[in-house]
């Protein structure tokens, strides 16, 4: 769908009120239409990924954020499956542990950066350091407020150095989360994903929303934009993320590199 990406992108400088958002919105896209177009969209992503790899001078970093059960794992599974895994590196960031805790919070993030020519996918990211960290007061307010600037400068540096950053906030509403938690509990193939901690986190819903709204306001530059994906409908979430990624890669105007040697004299005997 034309212009879907533009509709989903959060304009830098704007103040999003997440609670006013309809998480079931599909921006006029119909399910049948999305499901028909989705395979072509994935193929297009595969072609663009190969161009990114061939050019080898820039990287694409995809940041996936969302409250518990918003569909981060599902998005990766559905949208990224068509990509050549040699050119993709998925990193899941859990609560920092071991050697990670003995560094600044951006250290593990920087270490996981995709090489030029590659797509890096972050399942959670440095944004947790101004989300869960804020909600649970894991560091003093004076410390996490400084992180907005640190994150902005970090992302600016990456962008200046040929890393395109695309950030997704998968947004489900509170009712949908309840539905998905019940599913997880009742479904043998999913109940391993459920933890009593999830219910504790759910009690902090409003604080998370507030923390996400702050992120969308404080850390949303043109070189590292947020896309806000209404994610109650999984089919729409997948379609929208794939569409945005395809548009973003297309906008990079990727080119095959020119041969640097004169190949005209080469013969095969």
> Which residues of the chain form contacts with a second copy (CB under 8 A)?
56, 59, 99, 101-107, 110-111, 113, 115-118, 143, 146, 150, 153-154, 156-158, 160-163
d(CA 269, CA 259) in angstroms, rounded, equals 22
Q: Which is nearer to a second copy, 116 or 205 (CB)?
A: 116
Cα angle value 245/248/254 (rounded, 5°): 115
Q: Cβ of residue 159: shortest distance to a second copy, in angstroms?
A: 9
Query: To the nearest whole angstrom, how small is the minimum distance from the Cβ of residue 87 to a second copy?
Result: 12
Least distance from a second copy to the Cβ atom of residue 233, Å: 37
Q: Is residue 169 within 8 Å of 217, Cβ to Cβ?
A: no
In terms of CB distance, is 172 or 224 closer to a second copy? Answer: 224
Instruction: Name which of 73, 101, 108 is nearest 241 in CA terms.
Output: 73
| Nearer CB in complex with a second copy: 59/83 | 59
Q: Starting at the edge strand that comes first in sequence, how are the strands of the sheet with 119-123 ordered?
A: 88-92, 119-123, 59-66, 163-171, 226-230
Closest approach of a second copy to the CB of residue 107, in Å: 6
Nearer residue to a second copy within complex by CB, 140 or 265: 140
Nearer to a second copy, 71 or 114 (CB): 114
Q: Which residues contact 121 (CB under 8 A, 6 or more apart)?
A: 62, 64, 76, 80, 88, 89, 90, 91
Shortest separation between residue 141's beta carbon and a second copy, angstroms: 14
């Amino acid at each position: 769908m034309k212009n879907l990406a533009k509709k989903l992108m959060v304009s830098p400088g704007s103040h999003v009120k997440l609670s006013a958002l309809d998480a079931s919105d599909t921006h006029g896209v119909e399910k049948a239409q999305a499901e028909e177009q989705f395979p072509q969209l994935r193929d297009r992503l595969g072609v663009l990924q190969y161009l990114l790899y061939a050019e080898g001078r820039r990287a694409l970093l995809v940041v996936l954020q969302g409250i518990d059960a918003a569909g981060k794992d599902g998005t990766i599974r559905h949208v990224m499956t068509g990509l050549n895994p040699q050119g993709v590196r998925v990193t899941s960031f859990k609560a920092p542990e071991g050697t990670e805790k003995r560094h600044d919070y951006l250290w593990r993030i920087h270490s996981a950066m995709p090489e030029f020519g590659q797509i890096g996918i972050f399942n959670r990211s440095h944004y947790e350091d101004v989300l869960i960290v804020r909600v649970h007061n894991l560091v003093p307010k004076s410390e996490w407020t400084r992180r907005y600037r640190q994150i902005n400068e970090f992302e600016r540096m990456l962008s200046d150095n040929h890393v395109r950053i695309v950030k997704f906030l998968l947004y489900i509403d509170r009712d949908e989360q309840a539905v998905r938690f019940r599913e997880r509990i009742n479904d043998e193939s999913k109940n391993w994903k459920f933890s009593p901690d999830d219910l504790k986190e759910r009690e902090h819903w409003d604080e998370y929303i507030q923390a996400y709204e702050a992120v969308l306001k404080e850390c949303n530059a043109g070189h590292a934009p947020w896309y806000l994906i209404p994610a109650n409908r999984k089919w729409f979430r997948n379609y929208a993320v794939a569409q945005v990624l395809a548009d973003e890669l297309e906008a990079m105007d990727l080119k095959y590199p020119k041969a640097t040697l004169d190949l005209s004299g080469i013969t095969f005997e």
